[in-house]
């Protein structure tokens, strides 16, 4: 299958890769100098990752911590910039260490240039982070 290049199609493809736990293929959707930002990240959590290698390091163990099952309520909004979309969705599944349910609401602003993610601002809800330490993979230094 050819990787889609339009922002909305690429984003949907990326969600499928996350559900399939194919993190390396998801990282390949990124530009070498792509930036991943988390504006609402609480103290001690990364607020900005610069470069594909940093994104790969951050996401490497994701499936060991969160088993994603679906992204219900996916809405992709086009903007005046054809390379940028705004995404609303939920990620649902379970936390692998505890078996507890995972349900996170996301809003993201994603820019895709030349078929690669160049900038991704992820406005996830820090209040939904489990307080039992099962989501520690997202902290800086993991």
pLDDT the model gives residue 129: 65
pLDDT the model gives residue 46: 93
14-23, 40-49, 90-99, 123-132, range with the lowest pLDDT: 123-132
Which of the four pLDDT bands, split at 50, 70 and 90, describes residue 131? low
pLDDT the model gives residue 3: 83
pLDDT the model gives residue 139: 42
Asked whether residue 2 is domain-assigned, the answer is no
Nearest Cα to 58, choosing from 134, 2, 140?
A: 140
Structurally, the chain folds into a number of domains equal to: 1
pLDDT in tens, 16-56: 999 999 999 999 999 999 999 999 998 888 999 999 999 99
Which of the four pLDDT bands, split at 50, 70 and 90, describes residue 132? low
Q: What are phi and psi of 37, to 5 degrees?
A: -115, 150
Asked whether residue 1 is domain-assigned, the answer is no
Residue 130: pLDDT above 80? no
Asked whether residue 49 is domain-assigned, the answer is yes
The rounded mean pLDDT for the chain is: 90
Asked whether residue 129 is domain-assigned, the answer is yes
The span from the CA of 18 to the CA of 122, in Å, is 15
Asked whether residue 93 is domain-assigned, the answer is yes
Beta-carbon neighbour count of residue 103 at 10 Å?
A: 13
The domain containing residue 49 runs over which residues? 7-138
Give 38-44's long-range contacts (Cβ < 8 A, gap of 24+). 38/121, 38/122, 38/124, 39/121, 39/123, 40/123, 40/124, 40/125, 40/126, 41/126, 42/126, 42/129, 44/139, 44/140
Q: What is the CATH number of the domain that holds 16?
A: 3.10.450.50
């Amino acid at each position: 299958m050819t990787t889609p290049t339009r922002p909305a199609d690429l984003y949907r493809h990326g969600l499928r890769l996350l559900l399939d736990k194919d993190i390396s293929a998801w990282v390949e959707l990124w530009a070498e100098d792509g930036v991943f930002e988390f504006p609402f990240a609480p103290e001690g959590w990364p607020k900005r990752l610069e470069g594909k290698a940093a994104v790969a390091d951050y996401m490497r163990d994701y499936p060991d911590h969160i088993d994603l099952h679906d992204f219900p309520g996916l809405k992709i909004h086009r903007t005046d910039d054809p390379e940028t979309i705004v995404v609303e969705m939920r990620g649902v599944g379970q936390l692998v260490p505890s078996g507890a349910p995972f349900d996170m609401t996301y809003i993201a602003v994603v820019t895709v240039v030349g078929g690669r993610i160049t900038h991704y601002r992820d406005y996830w809800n820090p209040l939904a982070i489990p307080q039992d330490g099962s989501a520690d993979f997202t902290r800086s230094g993991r």
